Amino acid sequence: MSTPDGVQESRAAWRLGIITPRRKRIFFGLLVVLGLVLPYLVYPVFLMNVLCMALFASAFNLLLGYTGLLSFGHAAFLGTAGYVTGWLLRSVGLPVELGVLAGTAVATVLGWAIGALAIRRSGIYFAMITLGFAQMIYFLAVQLPFTGGEDGLQGIPQGKALGFVPLHNPYALYYFVFAIFALGFAVIYRTIHSPFGHVLRSIRENEARALSLGYDVERYKLVAFVISAGLAGLAGSTKALVLQFVTLTDVHWHKSGEVVLMTLLGGMGTVMGPSVGALLVVAMENYLTGFGDWVTVIVGTVFVAGVLAFRRGIVGEALHLARNFPF
């Protein structure tokens, strides 16, 4: 991948001093404050949806943006974790935290199993293998009785966080989800900026070179895949808790396509890009419904325009602009 995209832009932004540690701290500080205040300004359920999808897209970006692997089956992890969490909370009656953790754990194990097989190939073949496995997960979701098939797994209780915070209160639930998002986001951030993340990027730039430098490329790819799958699972478990149901939509290949759109739109290979993309896509889905069947056309046009003209994505383009007009 030798295309101008987010990774180059954010690296340039660091090099040119547009991003400095100080600015970064202020930025994230403001972001946290914004995150805490926002539910009083914007509809909380919408925000929680955005946070879940932002985490999903950020996890996906770890793979696409930083490792150069396009998975076309990431919905499998989102959906599987959602189903597991939903079933554990509703039918087994586990506490909320354990349910979410268990969903994440199952997605992680699934990620390890699929990843170990898929990373043996790359490029378009990798995308196809992940799609193949995701279709099998979809088949299981349709066939297994506990998922509720087409009707979905409904009526997931929200319970109480830490045993006393009632999560059916939208504000309490929002802060719970925000905390999970912040945690997941921090894991991704740490991964990207660790020595491990640097190796991933070198694999993305030039796999042969990384191999010749003595890195066990396959293992690095696998670990990245597992982390990405696990965090996608965390997003899925949280989403199940927010919406109180899981349906086949969450394991359908459309969802896998949607996360590509979010990442591409926001800017792949940038830290904030996937979240911005998720915000836009979820907002389009929720606020453009009045346009009826034009929504598909609009989303398609955005996709095409993004690929043709804004391959850096929104955040990538913004960084690119900042490079030319340093402030």
Partner 1 sequence: MKRVASSLMMAALLSLPAAGRAADKISDGVVKIGVLTDMTGFYSDLSGPGSVLAVKMAVHDFGGKVLGKPIEVISADHQNKADIASTIARKWFDEDKVDVIMDLPNSGTAFAVMPVAAEKKKLTILSTAATTSITGDKCTAYNIHYTYNNWMLANGTGREVVKSGGNTWFFITADYVFGKSLEEDTANVVKAAGGKVLGYARHPQNSSDFSSYLLQAQASGAKVIGMANAGGDTINTIKQAKEFGITPKQTLAGLLVFISDIHSLGLETAKGMYLTTSFYWDYDDQTRAWSKKFQNHPDNAKKAMPTMTQAGLYSATMHYLQAIKAVGTDQAEPVIARMKAVPVNDFFARHGVIGPDGLHRHDAFLVQVKSPAESKYPWDYYKIIKKIPAAEAFPSVAAQGCPLAVKK
Partner 2 sequence: MQALFGQLLVGLINGSFYALLSLGLSIIFGLVNVVNFAHGAMYMTGAFFAWIGLSSLGIGYWPSLLLSPLAVGLLGVAVERTMLRRLYQLDNLYGLLFTFGLTLIVEGLFHHQYGNSGNSFPVPEALQGGSNLGFMYLPRYRAWVVLVSVAVCFASWFVIERTKLGAYLRAGTENPKLLQAFGVNVPLMMTLTFGFGVALAGFAGVMAAPIYQVTPSMGSGLIIVVFAVVVIGGMGSILGSIVTGIGLGLVEGLTKYLYPQAASTVVFAIMAVVLLIRPAGLFGREK
Q: Which residue has the tokens 């930083």?
A: 66
- The CA distance from 244 to 17, in Å, is 45
List the interface residues with partner 2, window 34-73 (CB under 8 A).
70
Question: Is residue 6 close enough to count as binding partner 1 by CB under 8 A?
Answer: no
Cβ distance to partner 2 smaller for residue 57 or 260: 260
Contact 103, 306 (CB under 8 A): no
Window 241-270: contact mask with partner 2 (x via CB under 8 A): ------------x---x--x---x------
Question: Is residue 288 close enough to count as binding partner 2 by CB under 8 A?
Answer: no
Question: Is residue 250 close enough to count as binding partner 1 by CB under 8 A?
Answer: yes
Contact 282, 168 (CB under 8 A): no
List the interface residues with partner 1, window 19-48 (CB under 8 A).
26-27, 30-31, 34, 37-38, 41-43, 45-46
**Binding test (CB under 8 A) with partner 2, winner from 163, 308, 325, 326:** 308
Q: Which two tokens stand for residue 178?
A: 């925000």
**Binding test (CB under 8 A) with partner 1, winner from 92, 93, 151, 212:** 151
Cβ distance to partner 2 smaller for residue 126 or 178: 126
Window 283-322: contact mask with partner 1 (x via CB under 8 A): --xx--xx-xx-xx--------------------------
Q: Which residue has the tokens 């939509």?
A: 249
Q: Is 168 helix (H, G, I), strand (E, B) or coil?
A: coil
Beta carbon of residue 143, minimum distance to partner 2 (angstroms, whole number) = 6
Question: Is residue 120 close enough to count as binding partner 2 by CB under 8 A?
Answer: yes
Neighbours of 120 (CB within 10 A): 13
- The CA distance from 197 to 203, in Å, is 10
The DSSP string of 285-315 is: HHHSGGGTTHHHHHHHHHHHHHHHH-TTHHH
